[in-house]
Structure 1
Amino acid sequence: MVRAHLSRPWTSVAPPSCNILIDTCHYVATLPNGTKSRRWTSSRSCGHGIGQRSCHAPAYVHKAKIKVASMLKKVGIALFAAAVITVAVIYVMVPDEAALKSLIVERVSGQTGREVKVGAVSFSLDGKAKLVVQDLSIANAAWAREPVLLRASRVEVVVELMPLLEQQLHMRDARADNITVNLERGKNGERSWVFKQAAGDDVAPASRLDRLTVFNLALNYFASGEALRTEIAEVSLNQSAGSPTVQNIALSGTLGGTTIQVNGTLDGLARFAQQEGPLDAKLNATFDQLSVNVDGTLSQSSQLFVVQAEGKLPKALVSSELPVTASANVDLKWPRVNATDLKFEALKSRGVGDVLLDLSRDKPHVSGSLVFSELRLSSAEDSKPGPRIFSEQPVDFSALRTFDGDLVVNAAKVIADPPFNNFSAKAVLRNGELQLSNMIAKTLGGTVAGSATVFAKAPQYALSVNLELDGLAASALSDLAAGPLDGEIALSARGNSPAEWAATSNGQFRAGLGKGRIRARTADTLTGGVMAIFDALTKNSEWVELNCAVMSFDLKKGKAVSNALVADMSNATLVGEGYVNLGKEELALLIKPHPKGVTLNVAVPLRVTGPIRNPQYALDEAAAARRVGGVLASIVFPPALIAAFADIGYESSGCLPGEAAQSTASAAAAGAKIASDASATAAKAAGAAANEAGKILDEAGKVTGQAAKSASDAAIKAGKVVGKAVNSTLREVGKGLKSIFGN
């Protein structure tokens, strides 16, 4: 009984006292906190006869204390020995390095079906069972350009101990450093990261991984010869405490020089990877100043994401930072992504649409329709005049080589110079060649229709444009003239900037201005001051009546040479020739005026030269002195020259004669009037003028007949561009013009 009580941690036992009356000894034990505990009595006698004797603690009390201490010491030694033995047994049972390598290779190769190589492998029990693998590599697909799919310099894994003792690999926590991943899409749409499980292997299912952290990840993606490289400083996946299937993701790095961050949750990543269920994602990604929110469900059969984006497009995607806001319902059925109810705003352009992205082809293919309420192609800064008409700033079309597409584009309003309304076009993009067809738009009070092609395959871009102008308001182009403008433009060019396109352009430009008006000061300049002399005829009006104007230029290597340049006003007729150098932005024109009802000596030719933006005007008196008499009869109103435009839709210009004979008679009457005026000045000059006028009138009659026939033939050809007959007519007119302006 005493030993049982002494097994408690008594600090001391008080000396016993003897009770002679009952002949017993009493003991009091004291606890470590100083409290005296229970009392008990011993059965031994403490008295012998009469009187009291002192009691002493029995010897077995001291022996009990010694035995307890000894027992505790032995237990501690036993426990320590057991721990040492356990650790020793674990180390004995854990596979050696060669066996661990074999285990890792077997497990990873079985999951991927690829060749796996590992370097040094070590195992430690530093609080947790850790497995460290050096120089791990997994082979890429046989057809891939890069032989290695994944390479890691170091992988540290916390494993479950008991399965490891049975040579099974169950991971709970993993960390990888200096990882390189090479992903590639093949020509037939195959993907290098899709694995085939090794045939005949009984592979254990993937174990739960509570945490994965990767440092210094280089991710390379190759497709159609293009490479996209991403560097990620850190990415982590953590098991959520609230759900065994939810992973918290955090990522930071760079994409093409653009800083990226991704935060959010993934629910069902493991089951989705094994095609056993959907993946729910709630993510926020930041690309510089662009924020993208993803909230939706991804499944193997029917996949839906809701995406919202707001901020600025990073420079990795565009040449400059563009503010953008967008949202869409994304139906993802790999490898196709269908974005419906797409709403976006970028660079103050707003639109909606439905777009299908197909990733199964050699290049990503985009199809669908986009409708812009406002499409901005230029800004206020772009509209400011620069040192050149055609900018030398390079235009980057390289993005057209990265994808193909079929889109229908409509825009209620296009902000450009000039602006457009009700724009529509069909866009087809193949291998860097963009074709815009069925293009039509309202602008400058009229309509522009046609097609355009951009060739972005070569290092130097190429352009081709075919446009028809119908009813444009000349006053919207310049405040110097007013009237309806019709025309045709057929141009091709090469280069990487508008300046290079202008310098290399080839093609034709033809236009006709119908009945309208021209400012008096402009008419005065073009007629060499004649209009100022006859100011009374204009009644001091700001405007001069314009019957018509026609022009035709042929372009070759940026130089536009006129083959017809005529304007007929109420008080004068102008005929010109010359060229405009678009590359140098210079012009050199000779304009021959003839005021109606004015003697010949005041009709002085005008030379217009210098920069297009700031031309210089100078009178050419020497040219006026050469055969100025009767020659002018053929240019007062040259019907053959005007008739050449009958087959390109300028009937409304007012320049076409009703009948060829009437036009010839008008020319003859004008010639006679000029001859009469000339004779009043000098008989010799009048005679020479009359003879010259007769020759020119005869030639004019022939030319007029040819022109009428050409117009009839052109009408039969349903508006085709001038044929050989018209070209012949223009050559004959050109001969007449050369006799006027000299060789």
Structure 2
Amino acid sequence: MSPHGHNHRPISRSRQVFHGMEMGRFFKWAGIALAGLTVALVAFFALVFNWNMLRGVINDRASAASEQDIEIGGNLDVDLSWAPRITAEKITVGNAEWGSAPEMAEIERLVVSVDLCALLGGTVKLPQLEIENARLLLEKDKAGEKANWNFGDNPAAGAVNRTVVPKERASFPEIGRLRIVDSRLVYREPARGIDLEMDVSTARGATEQDDRVKFSGKGEFEKAPFRLSIDAGSIIALRDEDNPYPLDVDIRIGKTAAKLSGSIDRPLDMQGVDVKLRLEGANPAELFPIIGLPVPDLPPYSISGNLLRRGEAWEFRDFAGKVGDSDLKGVLKYAPGDDRPTITADLTSSLLDFEDLGGFVGAAPAETEKTELSEKTERKARRAQPPPKNGETPPETERVLPDTPFDIGRLRAADLDVKFRATRVLAPNLPIDRLTAHLTVKDGLLRFQPLNFGIAAGNVRSQIVLDGSRDVPRVQADLEILHVKLASLMKGTDFADRVAGEFAGRAKLKGRGASTREMLATADGDIAILMNEGRFSKLLLSLASLDVPKSLEGLLFEDDAMRVRCLVGDFKVERGVMRSRALVFDTEEVRVDGEGTVNLGTEQLDLTVLAHPKEASIGARTPIEVGGTFANPEVGPNEAALGARAGAAAALGALLTPLGALLPFIQLGLGEDSNCAALVHNAREKTERKGGGGR
């Protein structure tokens, strides 16, 4: 009995255990029932809830965040799970106010699943993304300053920008399977004349890592046909920072084609590019509007090498190929600058076809080889046409000097530092055996310092400066000819063993103009040439297509050979006209003196030569006129001058005096006992006695 007088029956331990078990079953079944009810309610909600009721809210929130009009105009459905699957139809994204179309993007159907657990952890993971019948328009404004994919400056728009175009590969949304069907991408950049429309699709690989994204389309670039094909790695490969992103690209713009195959370490900002590049086209000059590389007009080319990018600099390394009939290899580097890019190159050629360099002087690029028959036909056609009268400019078809305008804009587009070496040179009728050049361009000022080549066992050394910073370019040229042997010039012809002699010369000119022809037409300066102890063959006259009168031919040649003691030509150049100061042709039997002009502007010849036999028994000869043009020279007697032979002889003989002024101008490289040295020294003594000290 208890102290209170109540009787209590003790509860057994087994009964307490049984009571606990009953309570556990209750909570278990209650939990199951509650969970089932929740699932049922969620399932019922998912089945009966109309997700389209949320379209307005979603449209408003998305538009505010991106500062673009975004609208889901079709059905919206959600399959709820830990990775809910969202399906939306007829999605439109408004374009910028200045855009060429109302919508930037139109998507007929979008299916995307989102990993909620990853999202709660701060990672955007999309196990599935399907895009059907979409059209995306990417464009810049007419000035090229604004892009429609930049959504705005507010924080929300900035977040959208970072999501759509992240800077780091790992920040790109993680997409498991990407499927794109019947979709198109349009890119427009009016400032560069680009209008491109491409099909976009995906190709499944063995694994998600092996999937590919493909772009293929066509359009226009500066009104030239533009074709582009891209085969890129999967989105998973894009996020993989440990491995380079694979990329294959084929581009064709007009007649220019490029193929790239390789990888990029950082594809989102184009860093770590390492691809094989094959580049070919009809003319390298067509690269200028595409990539801004200032190249002159040259023949068709095909070049392959490694294209690398490190930082802001690009490098085309270990490339090799052909330009026209010339081989070319080397390295080229491109570095952007504040005002203009800087391009450096180190180039070599083991066989250079000299005709391929025509673009450097404004000539048309060589495309086809002229046969010997076609050249003879052209010469006959030129001789058949009447030569222009004195003072008349020959027709354009008769001009020799190129008149293609220099593209000064290209000189100002980039700074250059290019070294070039050719160990073997193929030049029609010119035995050039090597060429060395160093070209620099700085602020539009072009310098060839030097431009040297070996020719006929001698050398030609030159320095050329062209100021392209002016509206009308100006040029200075200094050219020196040393020890050029006539026999070597004729090597490979029937005349090689019938000629002899060594040339030296010098030309210093200044001019201005938009082309080679204009510059020479305005040139001022001096030109001199000298040959010592030579021999000519009569057959050379037929080679030069010159109709020399029989009287002069018989006087000059004996047994088909003419031995030349000395030949000197000295000209003052003023406003494009070469005016002789001394023109002497000295042989054992006769001395021929000449005077006259060569007009570099009209390409006309107007020279008179008079032979002075050294034997008293041979009478004076009729003056010979050398006329015509560079393309069609004419040689014949001047019968009208027959009565004035004595005066002409005295005048022409007096031309020997200025020869003394040649010595400070031209480094003859002749021995003191040579015929030309004696002739020039005698002339110098006459000059000094008259008080003329030189130039």
TM-score, structure 1 normalization: 0.63
Contact 1:639/1:704 (<8 A) preserved: no
Deviation of 1:625 after TM superposition, in Å, equals 3.7
Deviation of 1:563 after TM superposition, in Å, equals 1.8
Q: What does residue 437 of structure 1 align with?
A: 449
Which of 53, 56, 64 is the equivalent residue of 1:96? 56
Which of 252, 263, 281 is the equivalent residue of 1:296? 263
Q: What does residue 281 of structure 2 align with?
A: 312
Q: What does residue 331 of structure 1 align with?
A: 308
CA–CA distance in 1 between the matches of 2:643 and 2:618?
Answer: 10
Q: Structure 1 residues 623 and 531 mapped into 2: Cα distance closer, same or farther (>3 Å)?
A: closer
How do 1:331-350 and structure 2 match up within 5 A?
331-350=308-327
Q: Identity percentage over the alignment?
A: 17
Q: Secondary structure at the match of 2:678?
A: coil
Q: What does residue 559 of structure 1 align with?
A: 577
Deviation of 1:342 after TM superposition, in Å, equals 2.0
Q: What does residue 423 of structure 1 align with?
A: 435
Q: What does residue 234 of structure 1 align with?
A: 198
Q: Which amino acid aligns with 1:342?
A: F
How do 1:47-66 and structure 2 match up within 5 A?
none
Q: Which amino acid aligns with 1:430?
A: K
CA–CA distance in 1 between the matches of 2:351 and 2:150?
Answer: 43
Structure 1 position 586 matched with structure 2 position 604 = yes
How do 1:249-264 and structure 2 match up within 5 A?
249-254=214-219, 255-256=221-222, 257-264=224-231
CA–CA distance in 1 between the matches of 2:632 and 2:298?
Answer: 36
Q: Structure 1 residues 297 and 121 mapped into 2: Cα distance closer, same or farther (>3 Å)?
A: closer
Structure 1 position 180 matched with structure 2 position 144 = no
Deviation of 1:396 after TM superposition, in Å, equals 5.8
CA–CA distance in 1 between the matches of 2:687 and 2:231?
Answer: 82
Structure 1 position 376 matched with structure 2 position 347 = no
The worse-fitting range, judged by mean Cα deviation, of 420-429 and 397-406 is 397-406
CA–CA distance in 2 between the matches of 1:659 and 1:505?
Answer: 27
Q: What does residue 14 of structure 1 align with?
A: none
Q: What does residue 503 of structure 1 align with?
A: 521
Structure 1 position 86 matched with structure 2 position 47 = yes
Q: Secondary structure at the match of 1:515?
A: strand
Q: Secondary structure at the match of 1:642?
A: helix
Contact 1:325/1:346 (<8 A) preserved: yes
Which of 568, 582, 592 is the equivalent residue of 1:574? 592
Contact 2:185/2:200 (<8 A) preserved: no
Structure 1 position 655 matched with structure 2 position 676 = yes
Structure 1 position 388 matched with structure 2 position 398 = yes
Q: Which amino acid aligns with 2:675?
A: G
Q: What does residue 65 of structure 1 align with?
A: none
Q: What does residue 705 of structure 1 align with?
A: 689
Q: Which amino acid aligns with 2:422?
A: A
CA–CA distance in 2 between the matches of 1:429 and 1:568?
Answer: 45
The worse-fitting range, judged by mean Cα deviation, of 317-326 and 554-563 is 317-326
Contact 1:513/1:549 (<8 A) preserved: yes
CA–CA distance in 2 between the matches of 1:504 and 1:450?
Answer: 20
Deviation of 1:579 after TM superposition, in Å, equals 0.7
Contact 1:400/1:434 (<8 A) preserved: yes
Q: Secondary structure at the match of 1:507?
A: strand
Q: Which amino acid aligns with 2:215?
A: A
CA–CA distance in 1 between the matches of 2:283 and 2:550?
Answer: 59
Q: Which amino acid aligns with 1:705?
A: R
Structure 1 position 218 matched with structure 2 position 175 = no
Residues 300-333 of structure 1: CA deviation (Å, up to 9, x unaligned): 8982513141653578438989654433233321
Deviation of 1:597 after TM superposition, in Å, equals 1.7
Q: Secondary structure at the match of 2:687?
A: helix
Q: What does residue 282 of structure 1 align with?
A: 247
Q: Which has the higher contact order (CA 8 A, sep 6+)?
A: 2
CA RMSD between the two structures: 4.7
Q: Structure 1 residues 477 and 454 mapped into 2: Cα distance closer, same or farther (>3 Å)?
A: farther
How do 1:91-130 and structure 2 match up within 5 A?
91-92=52-53, 94-96=54-56, 99-106=58-65, 108=66, 116-118=67-69, 121-125=72-76, 129-130=87-88
Contact 1:149/1:193 (<8 A) preserved: no
Deviation of 1:546 after TM superposition, in Å, equals 0.7
Structure 1 position 405 matched with structure 2 position 357 = no
CA–CA distance in 2 between the matches of 1:184 and 1:211?
Answer: 35
Q: Structure 1 residues 151 and 391 mapped into 2: Cα distance closer, same or farther (>3 Å)?
A: farther
Residues 22-48 of structure 1: CA deviation (Å, up to 9, x unaligned): xxxxxxxxxxxxxxxxxxxxxxxxxxx
Q: What does residue 460 of structure 2 align with?
A: 448
Q: Structure 1 residues 252 and 509 mapped into 2: Cα distance closer, same or farther (>3 Å)?
A: same
Q: Secondary structure at the match of 1:100?
A: helix
CA–CA distance in 2 between the matches of 1:206 and 1:197?
Answer: 21
Q: Structure 1 residues 583 and 323 mapped into 2: Cα distance closer, same or farther (>3 Å)?
A: closer
Q: Secondary structure at the match of 1:726?
A: coil
Deviation of 1:487 after TM superposition, in Å, equals 0.9
Query: For this pair of structures, how many residues does the alignment match?
Result: 563
Q: What does residue 662 of structure 2 align with?
A: 645
CA–CA distance in 2 between the matches of 1:195 and 1:370?
Answer: 46
Contact 1:179/1:215 (<8 A) preserved: no
How do 1:507-526 and structure 2 match up within 5 A?
507-519=525-537
Unpaired segments of 5 or more residues in structure 2? 1-39, 79-85, 164-170, 289-295, 356-365, 379-396
CA–CA distance in 1 between the matches of 2:628 and 2:174?
Answer: 80
Contact 1:493/1:506 (<8 A) preserved: yes
CA–CA distance in 1 between the matches of 2:554 and 2:201?
Answer: 90
CA–CA distance in 1 between the matches of 2:435 and 2:325?
Answer: 17
Residues 392-415 of structure 1: CA deviation (Å, up to 9, x unaligned): 563664544443321211111334
Structure 1 position 472 matched with structure 2 position 488 = no
Q: Structure 1 residues 597 and 85 mapped into 2: Cα distance closer, same or farther (>3 Å)?
A: closer
Residues 603-631 of structure 1: CA deviation (Å, up to 9, x unaligned): 332222223343334434554544828x9
Q: Structure 1 residues 701 and 88 mapped into 2: Cα distance closer, same or farther (>3 Å)?
A: closer
Q: Which amino acid aligns with 2:73?
A: S
CA–CA distance in 2 between the matches of 1:238 and 1:185?
Answer: 30
Q: What does residue 160 of structure 1 align with?
A: 112
Q: Secondary structure at the match of 1:96?
A: helix
Residues 681-733 of structure 1: CA deviation (Å, up to 9, x unaligned): xxxxxxxxxxxxxxxxxxx97635358xx7xxxxxxxxxxxxxx224xxxxxx
Q: What does residue 726 of structure 1 align with?
A: 694
How do 1:167-206 and structure 2 match up within 5 A?
172-174=129-131, 175-181=134-140
Q: Structure 1 residues 403 and 277 mapped into 2: Cα distance closer, same or farther (>3 Å)?
A: farther
Deviation of 1:355 after TM superposition, in Å, equals 2.2
Contact 1:235/1:252 (<8 A) preserved: yes
Which of 328, 334, 337 is the equivalent residue of 1:351? 328
Residues 473-514 of structure 1: CA deviation (Å, up to 9, x unaligned): 345667696421111122344555554444344432111111
Larger Cα-atom Rg: 1
Q: Structure 1 residues 321 and 503 mapped into 2: Cα distance closer, same or farther (>3 Å)?
A: closer
Q: Which amino acid aligns with 1:591?
A: V
Q: Structure 1 residues 702 and 500 mapped into 2: Cα distance closer, same or farther (>3 Å)?
A: closer
Q: Structure 1 residues 330 and 521 mapped into 2: Cα distance closer, same or farther (>3 Å)?
A: closer
Contact 2:96/2:148 (<8 A) preserved: no
